[in-house]
């Protein structure tokens, strides 16, 4: 297939069955990491940029600034390189080195803020930095993924539609929440088109998005140290908070059971599904889960035993962090 534009190559039709994960449910993973920018955030980035162009606030010569845990930054870098926009991305020490290198290779200026928030994350610091830049350079445009309705709209119109078209029937959807664009967009669409589907929002322990206590987090993608303006908690039937340790265990389990190397936030979503196993008994539900990215960006963190030991304590062969294949 020949594409006029690399950014048109959105892969919205890849689903993998995960029979190892549940005895009582049929689980399907929507794999988003095959997009050109390597994650689900390509759709967010296209949605944000096209909306800003339509509103007339963005054109060549107008500098763009955005805060990202990594993936939106890579996706915006791809689009800005293709369209000739000047892009500055504000990230933090949890952003993977490979995402930063990827952005720089595409010509983006990457700023890494280092001061942690009082809430254990870096989002407030990233946003304070952007506000300061906007004061100094008022010509800059901030698309603000945390408050911009074009973010959930992209997932309402594309991610959720392709999810329901691909799987036809979904009893439970497990979806991670960072900016909450994927969660809000998919939950809104499914409540319109598949009202029986139970929406389970997956967050990290230590995130304040759904009103729980703040704490340190190391895996980029899920969670926030300030509630994104977009978040509509009432759209979730339930919210599950997953410890990063459990997310790492599930990343390693899916790798060894299926050969699929997924990112840390996918591990959180899988851990949330395993916590539901008893509740799946009896009805054989069809369960959908969204995998935002693949694991190659996390080889030096989630999949590195030394990094895991340094941050989560010693792991022995008895420890669930050292996964063994199950069939
Ligand atoms: N997982 C990963 C790896 C991500 O990069 C993101 C985006 N921050 C998410 C999950 C959450 O997606 P959203 O911002 O749409 O809530």
* pLDDT bucket at 61, cuts 50 / 70 / 90: very high
262-292 pLDDT per residue, tens:
999 999 999 999 999 999 999 999 999 999 9
Sheet containing strand 87-91, edge to edge, reads 109-112, 87-91, 64-67, 141-142
| CB-ligand 1 contact for 181 (6 Å cutoff) | yes
Q: What integer is the mean pLDDT of 123-143?
A: 96
* pLDDT bucket at 3, cuts 50 / 70 / 90: confident
| CB-ligand 1 contact for 177 (6 Å cutoff) | yes
Give me the residues paired with residue 114 across strands: none
State the pLDDT at residue 51.
Answer: 97
Buried b (16+ CB within 10 A) or exposed e, 18-33: beebbebbbbbbbbbb
State the pLDDT at residue 319.
Answer: 46
Which residue has tokens 């935002």? 292
Q: Radius of gyration over alpha carbons of the chain, in Å? A: 19
Give me the residues paired with residue 92 across strands: none
* pLDDT bucket at 40, cuts 50 / 70 / 90: very high
CATH of domain 40-142: 3.40.50.1100
154-195 pLDDT per residue, tens:
999 999 999 999 999 999 999 999 999 999 999 999 999 999
- The candidate with the shortest Cα–Cα distance to 67, out of 98, 113, 135, 119, is 113
Question: What's the 294 CA to ligand 1 centre distance in angstroms?
Answer: 12
**Residue-range domain boundaries for the chain:** 6-34+148-310, 40-142
Give me the residues paired with residue 240 across strands: 202
Protein fold of 6-34+148-310: Rossmann fold (3.40.50)
Among the residue ranges 14-18, 87-91, 223-227, 257-261, the one predicted with the least confidence is 223-227
Q: Read off φ and ψ for residue 6, nearest 5 degrees.
A: -60, -30
Q: What integer is the mean pLDDT of 71-92?
A: 97
Residue 321, pLDDT above cutoff 80: no
Question: What's the 132 CA to ligand 1 centre distance in angstroms?
Answer: 25
* pLDDT bucket at 314, cuts 50 / 70 / 90: low
CB 71 within 8 A of CB 221: yes
* pLDDT bucket at 4, cuts 50 / 70 / 90: confident
- The candidate with the shortest Cα–Cα distance to 45, out of 75, 20, 5, is 75
Which residue's alpha carbon is nearest to atom 10 within ligand 1? Answer: 221
Residue 5, pLDDT above cutoff 50: yes
With 0-12 CB in 10 A as exposed, 13-18 as middle and 19+ as buried, what is 81? middle
How many angstroms separate the CA atoms of 227 and 207, rounded? 9
* pLDDT bucket at 315, cuts 50 / 70 / 90: low
Question: What is the tally of helices (H) and strands (E) in the chain?
Answer: 11, 10
| CB-ligand 1 contact for 265 (6 Å cutoff) | yes
pTM above 0.90, yes or no: yes
> H-helix or E-strand containing 241?
strand 238-242
Question: What's the 84 CA to ligand 1 centre distance in angstroms?
Answer: 25
Question: What's the 52 CA to ligand 1 centre distance in angstroms?
Answer: 21
Q: DSSP character for 137?
A: -
State the pLDDT at residue 10.
Answer: 82
Residue 303, pLDDT above cutoff 90: yes
Question: What's the 222 CA to ligand 1 centre distance in angstroms?
Answer: 6
Question: What's the 178 CA to ligand 1 centre distance in angstroms?
Answer: 5
Number of neighbours of residue 310 by Cβ within 10 angstroms: 10
State ipTM.
Answer: 0.99
| CB-ligand 1 contact for 41 (6 Å cutoff) | yes
Higher pLDDT, 155 or 319: 155
> H-helix or E-strand containing 238?
strand 238-242
How many angstroms separate the CA atoms of 303 and 296, rounded? 9
User: Which atom of ligand 1 lies nearest, measured to the CA of 44?
Assistant: 15
Which residue's alpha carbon is nearest to atom 7 within ligand 1? Answer: 221
Domains 6-34+148-310 and 40-142 share a fold: yes
| CB-ligand 1 contact for 39 (6 Å cutoff) | yes
How many angstroms separate the CA atoms of 224 and 58, rounded? 27
Where in 69-164 does DSSP place strands (E)?
A: 87-91, 109-112, 141-142
Residue 316, pLDDT above cutoff 60: no
Residue 255, pLDDT above cutoff 80: yes
Question: What's the 79 CA to ligand 1 centre distance in angstroms?
Answer: 18
What is the average pLDDT score of the chain?
93
How many angstroms separate the CA atoms of 210 and 316, rounded? 34
State the pLDDT at residue 326.
Answer: 37
Residue 318, pLDDT above cutoff 60: no
Residue 211, pLDDT above cutoff 80: yes
How many angstroms separate the CA atoms of 43 and 78, rounded? 12
């Amino acid at each position: 297939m020949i594409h006029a534009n690399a950014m048109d190559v959105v892969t919205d039709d890849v689903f993998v069955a995960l029979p190892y994960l549940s005895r009582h449910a049929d689980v399907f993973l929507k794999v988003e990491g095959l997009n050109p920018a390597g994650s689900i955030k390509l759709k967010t980035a296209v949605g944000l940029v096209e909306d800003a162009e339509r509103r007339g606030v963005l054109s060549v010569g107008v500098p763009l600034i955005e805060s990202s845990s990594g993936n939106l930054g890579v996706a915006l870098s791809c689009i800005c390189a293709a369209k000739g926009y000047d892009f500055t991305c504000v990230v933090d020490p949890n952003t993977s080195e490979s995402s930063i290198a990827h952005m720089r290779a595409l010509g983006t200026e990457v700023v890494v803020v280092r001061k942690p928030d009082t809430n254990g994350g870096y989002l407030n610091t990233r946003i304070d930095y952007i506000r300061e830049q906007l004061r100094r350079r008022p010509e800059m445009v901030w698309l603000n993924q945390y408050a911009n309705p074009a973010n959930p709209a992209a997932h309402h119109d594309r991610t959720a539609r392709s999810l329901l078209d691909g799987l036809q029937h979904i009893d439970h959807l497990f979806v991670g929440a960072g900016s909450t664009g994927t969660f809000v967009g998919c939950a809104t669409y499914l409540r319109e088109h598949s009202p029986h589907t139970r929406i389970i929002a997956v967050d990290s322990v230590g995130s304040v998005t759904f009103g729980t206590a703040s704490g340190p987090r190391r895996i980029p993608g899920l969670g926030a140290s300030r509630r994104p303006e977009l978040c509509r908690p009432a759209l979730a039937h339930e919210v599950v908070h997953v410890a990063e340790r459990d997310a790492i265990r599930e990343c390693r389990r899916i790798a060894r059971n299926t050969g699929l190397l997924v990112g840390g936030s996918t591990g959180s979503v899988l851990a949330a599904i395993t916590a539901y196993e008893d509740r799946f008994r009896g009805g054989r539900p069809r369960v959908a889960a969204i995998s935002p990215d693949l694991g190659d960006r996390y080889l030096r963190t989630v999949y590195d035993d030394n990094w895991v030991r340094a941050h989560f304590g010693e792991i022995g062969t008895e420890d669930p962090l050292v996964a063994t294949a199950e069939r």
